[in-house]
Structures are given as C-alpha cells and as structure tokens.
Amino acid sequence: MIELYREIWKRRDLINYMVVGQQQAAVFKSMLGGLWHVLVPLAQTGIYYFLVAVVFSAGGAKASLSFIMIMMGILHYALFYHVASFVQPAIHGNASLLLQIKLEPILLVAAGFVRSLRIWNVGIVIYFIFFFALGGTIGMKALAYPFLLLLLLLLAWVMGLLVSTAAVFVRDIERLLPILLQILMYASPVIYPVSFYPDRYLQLFLLNPFASIFALFHWSILGAEFDVWFPLSVIVAWVLIGLLVTHAFYAWGRQRFTKVI
C-alpha cells in the first residue's frame, strides 16, 4: 500500500496531465468552457435557495438556516456523486490504454479522484459564500472541520478505489452504485438534522459511516449538540479498515485485470 502511494506521488505530474486533459475534453467546443464548473454549482445553490427559503418557507432567519443545513449536506455529499461518476469507470474505461503501455491502474483512479475534487471544491466555496452572506456563524467547533473534511476525502477515496476495482469484474456496478448512494443519502442526515434520529436508535444509525460523517458536519458547522466521540470513532474505524480491505482487494484484482479487460 505504501509503495502504491509512493507511485502516485512520483507520477503526480502525469496525474495532473490526465486531469487537465479530461477537463478540457469535457468542455471541448463549448462556448463557456471551464466556466461551467462554476455555473453548475452556483445554479444548483440558487435553485435550492429559491425552493427552501422562498417557496416552501415564509422567509426570514429560520428559512435561511434550513437552506444552510440542506445545502451543507448536499454539497458535501456531492463529492461521492462525482467520485461515482469519474472514478468508478477509471480502470475498465481505459482498458485499451492499460493493454498498450505499462501503467499502474491506481494512477487512473487517482486522476479520476483529483478531477472529482477540482469540480467539487467549487461548490464548497460557493456554499460558504452563501453561508456567511445569510448570516451563518461558526464557533470553536469549526476548528474540527478540516479534520472532518480529511475523513470525508478518505472515505470517498476508499469508496472510489473499491468500486473502480469491482467494476472491472462486475459491470453492473455502474448502474448499482447510484442506487446505493441514493439509499445511503436518505439514511444519513444529509437533508435533515441529526435530531430526526430517535435517541434510542441513534448509535445504530451512526454505524453507517455516511451518517456519522454528516452528523459530525452538523456538529462542527451548525453547532448541533450530541456526543461526538461515537460517530468520530465509527468514521475513523471505517476509514482505517476500509483502506486495508480495499487495498487488499485492489492487489488481488490487479493481478487479474489484463485477463478481464
């Protein structure tokens, strides 16, 4: 596993070159070019603001808080959507390239992941602009946000490496993954507060790593009050075990890729 990450670091220029090439191909011949990476999350945020704060609410501070909570969940959850879009087909979608040149497949996964981050981080910046513009405030708990963000990225990486490896052998992953992500979204406090969980079942719900990480975002950014040590231990355990298991699965699959693709 350490050697793989050394290879990723060593080939970082190649990864950046692939990411830039993919981004340019995605907007090739479009009139607005890379500006679409800003317009799409901006339009999404504006639409949700209109629906939540204007249509379904009477306006005011309560409506703004509802919008801030919902968009916090949706835009952080968008990372998993982008990973599913760009990382899942990274290996089997580049089969001809892998058959022609000697290239570590995890580099393709890393390129898809970096592309996901470059698109996703624009939405996060737009969210915090809206957050402060609508009167959102942060306290000392926000100091934990960078660490929680790191856990979110690691969880997304584990998911991406797992599904990109599995998709080589089971192409149904491409259609199954969006369904599973949608189920996990509604089973997690993405568009509703943690307080919606019944107290007696709270720890059971938080065994879901998605639920734990979004509950921690509620605690850090929105100031929700609950015992954070249980969800924190859950997400750390999922990340550590996930890294070990996923890399073992990748190492097993790596020896069989050329026979399948």
- Any idea where the domains of the chain sit in the sequence? 2-260
CB 165 within 8 A of CB 88: no
**Per-residue confidence of the chain (261 residues) as pLDDT tens digits?**
888 889 899 988 988 888 887 766 666 566 666 676 777 777 777 777 777 766 666 555 566 677 788 888 888 998 898 888 889 888 888 777 777 888 889 999 999 999 888 888 888 888 888 888 877 778 888 899 999 999 999 999 999 999 999 998 988 888 888 899 989 889 899 988 888 888 888 899 999 999 999 999 999 988 888 889 999 999 999 999 999 999 999 999 888 887 777
CB 46 within 8 A of CB 69: no
> Rounded to two decimals, what is the model's pTM?
0.86
CB 8 within 8 A of CB 15: yes
Q: Which residue has the tokens 């339009």?
A: 43
Amino acid at 69: M
Q: Which residue has the tokens 């952080």?
A: 76
Nearest to 235 by CA among 158, 143, 163, 123: 158
